[in-house]
Amino acid sequence: MYGVATFYHFFTLKPQGDHNCIVCMGTACYVKRAAEIVAALQKEFGVAPGETTTDGRLSVATARCLGSCGLAPVLVLDGMVLPRNTGNHAGTNPRTFGVG
Ligand code: FES
């Protein structure tokens, strides 16, 4: 059981936050500067990929490709795709996450 739970990228043994944000770091998103989204999330919320904010409101993760490369860079917030995001747009606005 432990092997299965730790093999798949989207399974986790850590408690998750109220909101879940996944930033695609696949090739199409990476070349469209997805790393800037991750940096903006770290700056705004103080949380790195694989972590949850100390108040338990937001968990951040990265993925290799979410299958929406034409919309790159892609951010998924609570299961909703937020296409063509950058670190300066809605994807990293605290109100988008219901935080702050
Ligand atoms: S590389 Fe990001 S959706 Fe495919």
The string of pLDDT tens digits covering residues 39-49 is 988 998 999 99
Q: Tokens 């469209």: give the residue.
A: 32
Kindly list the domain boundaries of the chain, sorted by start residue: 22-87
* Structure confidence by residue, pLDDT tens digits, 11-66: 778 889 999 999 999 999 999 999 998 998 899 899 999 999 999 999 999 999 99
Nearest to 91 by CA among 64, 72, 63: 72
Q: Tokens 């892609």: give the residue.
A: 74
22-87 has which CATH code?
3.40.30.10
Number of helices (H), then strands (E), belonging to the chain: the values are: 3, 5
Residue 94 — very low, low, confident or very high, per pLDDT cuts 50/70/90?
A: low
Residue ranges of E strands in the chain: 19-24, 51-52, 58-63, 75-77, 80-82
- Cα–ligand 1 centroid distance for 46 (angstroms): 24
* Residue whose CB lies within 8 A of the most ligand 1 atoms, among 9, 69, 84, for a mutation test: 69
Ligand 1 contacts CB of residue 76 (under 6 A): no
Q: What is the pLDDT of residue 62?
A: 94
Residue pair 74/32 in contact (Cβ under 8 Å)? The answer is no
Nearest protein CA to atom 1 of ligand 1, as residue: 26
Quote the pTM value. Answer: 0.82
- Cα–ligand 1 centroid distance for 72 (angstroms): 6
